[in-house]
Amino acid sequence: MSDRTPLMAGNWKMNLDWKQSLALVEDLGGQLKGKDLGGVEAAVLPPFVNIRTVQTAVDAGKLPIAYGGQDLSAHESGAYTGEVSGPMLTALGCTYVAVGHSERREYHGETEQVTNAKVNAALAAGLTPILCVGEGLDERKAGKQVEYTLAQVEGGLEGLTAEQVGGLVIAYEPVWAIGTGEVATPDDAQEVCAAVRDWVRTAHGDQAADAVRVLYGGSVKSSNVAELMERPDVDGALVGGASLKAEEFAKIVGYRAA
């Protein structure tokens, strides 16, 4: 087992209004609080408008849950209608922010340059980016999953120092496994997560490679998380659908106890 702290992050996507978010975080917190989680860290990424509610519940209940945004602006402030900046998230007590999720890339045309600018904006605001990468079905069928994913890693991390890279979270989320119920096999996840770490080792050295956390995402559930986590280069999971149910997500976070 590595020294890296496993991270289970729930990406709520565009689900739940503020009252539902409050109910979910309180329920989840109640299930996690006081439990021996075996050193596993839990985080949730609510929609922007619900982060304040989550902050209040986490603070009031001293819940063992970190939280963050699903996206952020590449800009720090100013005339960017509809956007939310890194400093705004920091001021709400956010730890993490997802960057370059495949749904941002696909539906909002986010390029490698935009993703790289957002990673930098997150770091400048003191947030830990969760850089999301992963191939589509065509690349997978062509056996190009490693090459495609590493190109996204390289683009997203351009210009970063080894120290910055070591502090990051990188989430390998093959697009064909997201929301489809079709989870990658542990071998598939390990193959690409190991390749990501090897890339970091070559580009930024041993310290960064040994510290960077590489998560797997795509149809993770309580029934498949343990076998994914057995693989040496899988340091956690980015969970969509299964993070919307407190009991199920608590089981995922508690996989070591199960």
How far is the CA of 100 from the CAs of 97, 133, 171, 201, in angstroms?
A: 10, 7, 10, 22
Active site residues: 101, 173
Q: Which member of 29, 155, 240, 254 binds ligand 13P (CB under 6 A)? A: 240
Distance CA 19, CA 71 (A): 21
Is 15 or 207 the residue whose CB approaches ligand 13P more closely?
15
Q: Which member of 11, 73, 152, 222 binds ligand 13P (CB under 6 A)? A: 11
Is 208 or 218 the residue whose CB approaches ligand 13P more closely?
218
The distance of closest approach from Cβ of residue 244 to ligand 13P in the complex, given in angstroms and rounded to an integer, is 9
- The sign of the CA dihedral 46, 51, 57, 62 is positive
The distance of closest approach from Cβ of residue 222 to ligand 13P in the complex, given in angstroms and rounded to an integer, is 12
Distance CA 192, CA 197 (A): 9
Q: Which member of 241, 252, 253, 254 binds ligand 13P (CB under 6 A)? A: 241
The distance of closest approach from Cβ of residue 219 to ligand 13P in the complex, given in angstroms and rounded to an integer, is 4
Is 11 or 50 the residue whose CB approaches ligand 13P more closely?
11
- Residues 101-130, one symbol each (x = binds ligand 13P by CB under 6 A, - = not), give x-----------------------------
Residue 100 contacts ligand 13P per CB under 6 A: no
- Single-letter amino acid, residue 64: P
32: enclosing H helix or E strand: helix 18-32
b/e map of 77-97 (b: 16 or more CB within 10 Å)?
eeeeeeebbbbbbbebbbbbb
The distance of closest approach from Cβ of residue 103 to ligand 13P in the complex, given in angstroms and rounded to an integer, is 7
The distance of closest approach from Cβ of residue 59 to ligand 13P in the complex, given in angstroms and rounded to an integer, is 25
**What's the token pair of residue 125?**
């605001």
| Nearest-5° Cα angle at 19, 13 to 21 | 35
Q: How many C-beta atoms surround the C-beta of residue 45 within 10 A?
A: 28
Is 176 or 199 the residue whose CB approaches ligand 13P more closely?
176
For 182, the 3-state DSSP assignment is: coil
Binding site for ligand 13P (CB under 6 A): 11, 101, 173, 178-179, 217-220, 238-242
